[in-house]
Amino acid sequence: MKREIIKILCCPSCKGTLTLSVEKEENGEIVTGAFSCAQCKITYPITEGIPDLLPRETDGS
Ligand SMILES: [Zn+2]
């Protein structure tokens, strides 16, 4: 997954800006990491280069 993708992605819940945190990067591509939305306080994991941006309910507990 290219780092530049952050520029075209937005939070699927609030359409706000996502913050990217990279755990593992190879050849300029992000392999493992996470997107997070400060507004929704939701983290969307990136696994094997695939971002999981499915909307989800916040755990209210
Ligand atoms: Zn959001």
Q: Which residues surround ligand 1, an ion (CB under 5 A)?
A: 11, 13-14, 16, 37, 39-40
SS (H, E, C) the chain: CEHHHHHCCCCCCCCCCCEEEEEEEECCEEEEEEEEECCCCEEEEEECCEECCCCCCCCCC
Question: What's at 12, amino acid-wise?
Answer: P
Q: How far is the CA of 36 from the centre of ligand 1 (A)?
A: 8
pLDDT one-digit tens code per residue, 2-61? 988 888 999 999 999 999 999 999 999 999 999 999 999 999 999 999 999 887 766 655
One-letter amino acid of 19? T
* pTM assigned to the model: 0.81
User: 18: CA distance to ligand 1 center in Å?
Assistant: 7
